[in-house]
Amino acid sequence: MGWKDGGTAIRTTMSFMKRSALVSALAVAVTGVLLTTAPAAQDQPLFRAAVRTVPIYATVLDANSRLVPDLQQSDFTITDNGKPTEITLFSAEPQPFTAVVMMDTSASMTANLKLLNRAAEQFLLRLLPVDRAQVGAFNDKIQLSGTFTNDRDALIAALDDLYFGNPTRLNDAIATSLDALQGADGRRVILVFTDGEDTSSRTKFGTVLDRARDEEVMVYSIGLESEYFDGVRVVRTRPARDLRRIAEETGGGYFELKQTADLSPTFTRVATELRSQYLLGFAPATLDGKVHKLEVRVNRPGMTVRARRSYLAAADRS
C-alpha cells in the first residue's frame, strides 16, 4: 500500500510540474507578445474629449416690454456663426450672480448723489443669500467697497463712503470691475451708471468691450441726462453712447433716463430682470480661438430676446 501511495504521489507531482511548466511557458509567450506590441501601443496618439459649454443668459420681452416667464427649451433657437446648434443646457430657474454696482460720482452728479444712492439701494435690497456684490464709484479715481458679500446692510452702508471728484473715468471703472470679477463662479454682472461721456480714462472702450465678451461678463448700463453748474454756466450732460453698445453686445440692458425720478425704478428693473432670465447653453462644434457671432431667437410671435451677441471660441474662459 505504501509503494502504491508513493507512486501515485510521484505521478501527481510530475503532473503538477508539467502543468506548471505549461503555465510558465504561456506566461513567457504572453509577456513576449506584450513586449513586442507595447511600443506600437505607445506610438498611438492619446485623445481626450474636452467639452465646453457656452452659457447664454437671455431676457425675453413681449410686445409691451413685459418679461416673459413661461418659455420652454423648445421655444428657443441658437445659431453659432449662422449655423443652428443643439441646446444642451436650459433652465428657467433664477440663477445666482456676482455683481459690481459701479456709479459715476463726478462733479456733474453732485446734486443727485443722494438720489443715486437710494436708487442703488433698491438693487441691493433685492439680492438673495446666494448672490454677492460690491459697490464702487468712479470720477478722477476708482473706488470699490472691498470684497464681494451678500450682506445687504453692509453694502448699503458702503454707499455712503463713496466719494466724488471731477473727471469721468468710465472705461477705467469698467476695467476695474472686470478685474474684480475675475475668478468669480457663475453669472458675473456689472451694473454701471453715468450721466456723461468718458473724459480721462487710460483704457480704451474697445479694450473693455473685448474683455467683457471674452470673460463672459454681462454689462447693464444706465445713462442719465442731467444738468449742473460748472462755475460759469449750466451744462446739460448726455450719457456715453458706448453704454448702449457694451450692454447690447454682452446681453445686458441699456436704460437712458431723462429725469432722476426714474433712477430707483430702473435699478429695481435690473434686479427683476436678473431674476427672470433663461439660462441656455451649447457645446461649440469647434474651438478655433476666434470670435463667433451668436443669435438667440424665440419661436413665438411678438417677442424679442436680449442675449450676448458673440463669444470667444477658446477652450477655457479668460
List pLDDT tens digits, range 186-212.
Answer: 999 999 999 989 999 999 999 999 999
Please report the pLDDT score of residue 125 as a whole number.
Answer: 98
| Whole-number Å distance between alpha carbons of 253 and 151 | 25
Please report the pLDDT score of residue 39 as a whole number.
Answer: 39
Residue 25 has pLDDT above 80, yes or no: no
Q: Which three cell numbers stand for residue 286?
A: 469647434
CA 223 to chain centre: 23
Element (H, E) at 80: strand 76-80
| Whole-number Å distance between alpha carbons of 237 and 65 | 27
Q: Is 219 helix (H, G, I), strand (E, B) or coil?
A: strand
How far lies 316's CA from each of 48, 289, 294, 313, in Å?
15, 10, 18, 9
Q: Is 262 helix (H, G, I), strand (E, B) or coil?
A: helix
Q: Which three cell numbers stand for residue 164?
A: 466724488
Q: For 102-138, what is each residue's pLDDT tens digit?
A: 999 998 888 889 999 999 999 999 999 999 999 999 9
193 touches 117 (CB < 8 A): no
Domain 97-274 has CATH 3.20.20.60: no
Sort residue 302 into left (φ over 0), alpha (ψ -120 to 50) or beta.
left
Q: For 32-71, what is each residue's pLDDT tens digit?
A: 433 333 433 334 333 333 478 999 999 999 999 999 999 9
Sign of CA dihedral 15, 20, 26, 32: negative
Beta-bridge mates of residue 312 = 291
- Which of 33-42, 61-70, 85-94, 309-318 is least confident? 33-42
The beta strands (E) that lie in 146-300 are given as 187-194, 218-224, 227-229, 234-236, 254-257, 278-282, 291-298
Please report the pLDDT score of residue 4 as a whole number.
Answer: 34
Q: Please state the domain extents for the chain.
A: 1-31, 54-92+278-312, 97-274
Between 310 and 315, residue with greater pLDDT: 310
Beta-bridge mates of residue 97 = 187
Q: For 215-256, what is each residue's pLDDT tens digit?
A: 999 999 999 988 777 678 877 788 889 999 999 999 999 999
| Whole-number Å distance between alpha carbons of 143 and 136 | 5
Find all residues with CB under 8 Å of 249, minimum gap 6, and list them.
209, 212, 213, 308, 309, 310
